[in-house]
């Protein structure tokens, strides 16, 4: 199956990045969100990214015009009824994702693939609310999507080989590297990354070191390009907490217990860069 038209549900941080890389790969994209202002914000982010590429000589004005011409923002999910694929990029919340998948199952043509960009939730459980579990798959892009090469591809219990192969081919067409991962909480990326971030937060919580010191140790000692607490602020502390909860509930192992300081920051609305404050203070 050649995928030429895709619906992306969600125009936020991940959704607009996925839309951009699809359009760059020559795919027509219906970018859907609940409100026109969300779509406008997402489109503006894409335009800024592309303008930067032109400035740096990576793209021409003509290429940018062609890419933007393949993006069709809409608040009506029905506009994507004839797409061969939908990629859901909504909040990391199981009930929200299930609701979207029920809608996609009703709106999209029979045979269309339904993918989720979840970073930790079970693909099999999301697939179960549809009438086409064999056509449901996980595509976990990394943030920021236009820059990061990895896409974790996660089969649900019923996902067919044909669906996997079609998604693997599309991932390569987007100039990304597909890696097959089984359907376990957190997959590989977040099962390894989030406990490290959580442990870094415990170091601050227990007074072992300041956030700056923890980040400096990991950057200089482990050669990480970004410290774990800076990374947590960038990801969003609410997202970090949600993923730790999925790991804790999914495995029932105390090593995944979210740090109380992480819970406190989220309750305070200190979610990181997007709110101007997390482990660091940011100028909005």
Catalytic residue, candidates 16, 117, 120, 190: 190
Q: For residues 18 and 182, give the distance between their C-alpha atoms in angstroms, rounded to a whole number.
A: 22
Residue 19's H or E segment, with its range, is: helix 13-24
For residues 33 and 11, the answer to whether their CB atoms sit within 8 Å is yes
Helix (H) or strand (E) holding 6: strand 5-9
* Sheet containing strand 177-181, strands side by side: 71-74, 28-32, 5-9, 85-88, 113-116, 136-141, 150-155, 177-181
Residue 229 CA to chain centroid, in angstroms? 19
152 is catalytic: yes
Q: What does the alpha-carbon distance between residue 188 and residue 181 come to, in Å, rounded to a whole number?
A: 7
72 assigned to active site: no
- The count of other CB atoms within 10 Å of the CB of residue 117 is 24
Q: How far apart are the first and last CA of the chain?
A: 44
- Mode of pairing for the β-strands spanning 113-116 and 85-88: parallel
Q: One of 32, 88, 140, 198 is an active-site residue; which one?
A: 140
| Eight-state DSSP code of residue 144 | S
Q: How many residues does the chain have?
A: 284
Considering Cα of 108, then 147, then 271, then 44, what sign does the dihedral take? negative
Given 32, 119, 120, 198, the catalytic residue: 119
Q: Choose, from 152, 180, 216, 224, the residue flagged as catalytic.
A: 152
Burial of 241 (0-12, 13-18, 19+ CB in 10 A): buried
DSSP 8-state code for residue 69: H
Q: Is 32 in the active site?
A: no
**Residues carrying an active site annotation:** 119, 140, 152, 190
């Amino acid at each position: 199956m050649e995928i030429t038209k895709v619906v992306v549900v969600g125009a936020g941080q991940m959704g607009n990045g996925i839309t951009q890389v699809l359009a760059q790969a020559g795919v027509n994209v219906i970018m859907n969100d609940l409100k026109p202002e969300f779509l406008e914000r997402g489109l503006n982010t894409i335009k800024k990214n592309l303008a930067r590429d032109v400035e740096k000589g990576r793209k021409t004005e003509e290429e940018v015009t062609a890419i933007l011409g393949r993006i069709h923002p809409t608040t009506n999910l029905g506009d994507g009824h004839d797409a061969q694929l939908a990629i859901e990029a909504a909040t990391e919340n199981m009930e929200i994702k299930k609701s979207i998948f029920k809608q996609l199952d009703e709106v999209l043509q029979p045979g269309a693939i339904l993918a989720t960009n979840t970073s930790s939730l079970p693909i099999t459980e999301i697939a179960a609310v549809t009438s086409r579990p064999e056509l449901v798959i996980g595509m976990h892009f990394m943030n920021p999507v236009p820059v990061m090469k990895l896409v974790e591809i996660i089969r649900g219990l019923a996902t067919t080989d044909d669906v996997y192969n079609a998604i693997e081919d599309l991932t390569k067409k987007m100039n990304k590297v597909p890696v097959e991962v089984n359907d376990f909480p957190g997959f590989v990326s977040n099962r390894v990354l989030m406990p490290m971030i959580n442990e870094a937060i415990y170091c601050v919580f227990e007074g072992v070191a300041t956030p700056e010191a923890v980040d400096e140790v990991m950057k200089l000692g482990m050669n990480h390009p970004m410290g774990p607490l800076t990374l947590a602020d960038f990801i969003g502390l609410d997202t970090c907490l949600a993923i730790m909860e999925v790991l804790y509930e999914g495995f029932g192992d105390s090593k995944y217990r979210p740090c109380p300081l992480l819970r406190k920051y989220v309750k305070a609305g200190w979610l990181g860069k997007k709110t101007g404050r997390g482990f660091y203070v940011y100028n909005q």
